[in-house]
Amino acid sequence: MKHTYSWQSCPICGNPKAYRVRDDTKAERFPVYCKRCKRESLITIAPKSRIMSF
């Protein structure tokens, strides 16, 4: 089974390669740390959709 991945941008600074997620990933209130702006944000990821920031 082949999975596809996509790079998601930081919701704060817009860093285009902040983190990588699989298309079937599902997470709620997941903490993500951006190395560029050095800030943490909570995100919600729904399968095969875009990131929704809190």
Count Cα atoms within 13 angstroms, Cβ side, for 36: 11
Q: Report the C-alpha gap between 11 and 18 in whole angstroms.
A: 9
Distance of CA 11 to the CA centre of its chain: 8
pLDDT tens digit at each of 54 positions of the chain: 688 888 989 989 999 988 888 888 899 999 999 999 999 999 998 876 555 565
- The model carries a pTM of 0.67
Q: Return the H-helix or E-strand segment holding 14.
A: none
